[in-house]
Structure 1
C-alpha cells in the first residue's frame, strides 16, 4: 500500500472545476513533485492534502488513514510556504520552537530539537536574529527548520524557492535534496520549474488544466512523455516536435520533414513503434531531444540507430560546455546540442546525427504518444 494515496480527487470553486479526477500515490520516503504551468491546479492539490481546501470529491489517505474530513492540525503534516511565513517579532529560535511550545513540549526537548535542526541546516549562528536580519535563503532555512522539528508524517513544500535568485535557488535545491536523502522523509513539493522537478523528485506528476497528464520517475517523464504537452514542458531546451510525413519503407517505416529551399529530410526508423505504420501516408509529430540531435562525434556511441542528415544552420548559440545550433524542419525551429568546439556557423550546412533510439512519435490530432 502506498504511503500517500489520492483517488479520483475533485475540487471545484462554484461552477469552476479546478481538479478533475486526480489519481496519485507515493511510497514512504518518496519525493513527489507536482509540476505544471500557472493555474494548472498544483497548489490547489497541495492545499487539499494539507486540509486548507475542502475537496469536492474523491479521497486522500496517509499511511492507510483517510484524512478527508480531518482538520489541518490533525493530519500530522508540516508545510513550508513560498512566503516563508515567519513571525517578524520572534527570533529564529522562537520561530522554530513556536509550534512545539503551543503543543506544550517541554523546554528541554524544544531546545534539543532546535539545536539538532539548526546544526543540520547550518543556521546555529542565526538563532538570536529576527527574520528582518536574514537573507532570503536564511529565511527559507528557518521555515524548513520549523517544519522539521514537527517530525510529521508528511512534508508539503509550496514553491519554496521561487523568491530566491537563480544561484541561491540552485544552492537551496541541493540542500533540500541532501536533507531528503539524510532523513528519508516523505515530501510533496510544488513548483513550476521543471529543472527543480527533474533534480529533486523520485516521482513527478505533470498537471495541466486540472488534469493529470502523466506521473512517473524523472527518467520516465523525460524519455517517454505521454503526450506533446509533457514532451514540450519537461526539458530545457524543450523536446523538438517536428511534423513529418510517414511512409512504409519495405518492412520498415520512413519519415520525411519538409525544409525551406531544400529537399525533404528523409530518415528511416528502425524498430518503429507498432502504431507508427498505421499512419502510413499521413503525418505524425516526431519528437527528439536536443541531446539526441548532435554532431556525429558527439553522438551516443551505445546507440544502435543513428541517422545523419545535412541541415542548414540558422543560429549558433555558444553556451560554455555546449553549443546549441538551430535549424528548421517541418516548418518548426529545431535545436541541436553540439560539443563546445563544434565547427558550425550560421548560414552554413552541417551534418547532424539523429539518435533514433531516443525518438518518440505523437498523434497530431490528439497529441498522445504513438506506442
Structure 2
C-alpha cells in the first residue's frame, strides 16, 4: 500500500480549474518530483498536500490517514520554500530551533537536535550567525535544517534551488540526494529543472494544464514517454520528433522522411510496435533521443538495430565531453549527440547511426504513443 495517496484531486479558483483529477501514489521513503511548465499546477498540488490550499474535490492521505480537512500544523509535514523564509533577527540556531521552541520542546533536547542537524548539513560553524551573514547556499541549508528537526512524515520542497547559481545548484542537489538516502523520509519536490527531476526522483509526475500526463520512474518517463508532450518536455536536449511516412513491406515496416538536398531518408524498423502497421501509408511522429543518434563508433554496442545513413550537418556544437551536431530531417532540426572527438564539420555530410531500439512513435492527431 502506498504511503502518500492522492485520489481524483481537484482544485479550482473560482471558475478556473487548476488541478483536474490528479491520481498519484508514493511509497514510504519515496522521492516524488513534480515537473511541468509554469502554470501547470505543480505548486498548487504541493500546497494542497501542505494544507495551504483547500482542495475542491478528491482526497489526500498520509500513512492511511486522510488529511483533507486538517490544519497544516496537524498534517505532520515540513515544507522548504523557494524564498528560504528565515527570520532575519534570529541566529541560525534560533531559526532551526524556533518551531521546537513554539511546541515547548525542552531546551536541552532542542540544543541536541540543532547540533545533530547542523552536523548533518555541515553548518555547525554558522549557528551564531544571522541570515544576512550567509550565502544563498548556506541559507538554503538552514531552511532544510529547520524542516529536518521536525522529523515529519513527509517533506515538501518548493523549487528550493532556483535562487542558487549553477554550480551551487549541482552541489545542493547532491546534498539533498545524500540526505534522502540517509534519512529515508518521503519527499515531494517541485522543480522546473529536468536534471533535478531525473537525478533526484524515485518517481516523476509530469503535469500540463492541471492534468497528469504521466507518472513513473525517471527511466520510464525518459525512455517510454506516454505522449508527445512528455517526450518533448523531458530531456535536454529534447527528444527529436520527426514526421515520417509509414510503409508496410511484407512483415516489416519502413519509415521515410524528407532531407534537404538529398534523397529521402528511408529506415527499416525491424522491431516496430505492433500498432504501427495500422498507420500504413500515413504520417506519424518518429521520436529518437540525441544519444540514440550518434556516430558509428559512439553507438551502443549492445543495440540490436543500428541503421546508418549519411546526413548533411548544418551546425556543430562542441560541449566538452560531447559534440552536438544538428541536421535537418522532415523539415525539423534534429540533434545528434556524438563523441567529443567525432570528425564532423558544418556544411559536410557525415554518417549518423540511428539506434532503432530506442525509437518511439506517436500518433500526430492524438499525440499518444503508438504501442
Tell whether the structures are fold-level matches, with TM greater than 0.5. yes
Distance (whole Å) between structure 2 residues aligned to residue 296 and residue 278 of structure 1: 32
Q: CA deviation at 1:57?
A: 0.2
In 2, Cα distance between the equivalents of 1:261 and 1:365? 29
Deviates more, 1:139-148 or 1:247-256: 247-256
Per-residue displacement from partner, 1:216-256 (whole Å, max 9, x unpaired)? 00000000000111011111100000000000122110000
* TM alignment of 1:211-222, pairs within 5 A: 211-222=211-222
Alignment of 1:292-311 (within 5 A): 292-311=292-311
* 1:149-164 matched pairs, under 5 angstroms: 149-164=149-164
Q: Where do residues 134-283 of structure 1 align in structure 2 (5 Å cutoff)?
A: 134-283=134-283
In structure 2, distance between residues paired with 1:14 and 1:193: 30
**Per the alignment, in what secondary structure is the counterpart of residue 304 of structure 1?**
coil
Shift in Å at residue 366 of structure 1? 1.0
Query: What is residue 29 of structure 1 aligned with on the other side?
Result: 29
**Deviation, structure 1 residue 59:** 0.3
1:88 and 1:244 map into 2 onto residues whose CA distance is 59
SS at match of 1:174: helix
Offset of residue 260 of structure 1: 1.7
User: TM-score, normalising length from structure 2?
Assistant: 1.00
**Counterpart of 1:116?**
116
Deviation of 1:27 after TM superposition, in Å, equals 0.3
**Mapping for residues 73-84 of structure 1, pairs under 5 Å:** 73-84=73-84
- Measure, in 1, the Cα distance between the counterparts of 2:343 and 2:262: 22
Runs of 4+ in structure 1 deviating by more than 2 angstroms, as ranges, are none
Partner of 1:337: 337
* Distance of 2:124 and 2:171 partners within structure 1: 18
Alignment partner, residue 19 of structure 2: 19
Taking only aligned residues, the RMSD between alpha carbons, in angstroms, comes to: 0.4
How far did residue 257 of structure 1 move? Answer: 1.0
Query: Are positions 1:3 and 2:3 aligned together?
Result: yes
1:55 maps to 55
**Structure-2 separation of matches of 1:71 and 1:7:** 19
For 1:94 and 1:88, the matched residues in 2 are separated by: 10
Partner of 1:96: 96
Quick one: distance in 2 between partners of 1:148 and 1:304?
Answer: 48
Equivalent position of 2:312 in the other structure: 312
d(CA) in 1 for partners of 2:201 and 2:220? 12
Distance in 2 between the 1:113 and 1:257 partners?
63
- CA shift at 1:33, angstroms? 0.2
Deviations 1:68-94 (A, max 9, x none): 000000000000000000000000000
TM-score w.r.t. length of structure 1: 1.00
Q: Structure 1: 5+ residue runs without aligned partners?
A: none
Per-residue deviation, 1:271: 1.1
Q: By how many angstroms is 1:303 displaced? A: 0.2
1:64 is aligned to 64
Residues 200-228 of structure 1: CA distance to partner in whole angstroms, max 9, x if unpaired?
00000000000000000000000000011
- Tell me, what secondary structure is at the counterpart of 2:258? strand
In the aligned structure 1, how far is the partner of 2:183 from the partner of 2:193? 24
Separation of aligned partners in 2, 1:265 and 1:320 = 30
Q: Secondary structure at the match of 1:151?
A: coil
Provide the rounded CA distance (Å) in 1 between the counterparts of 2:131 and 2:344: 51
Cα distance in structure 2, aligned partners of 1:194 and 1:24: 19
For 2:184 and 2:340, how far apart are their aligned partners in 1?
Answer: 38
Aligned residues: 371
Aligned counterparts of 2:293 and 2:57: Cα–Cα separation in 1: 45
The aligned counterpart of 1:347 is 347
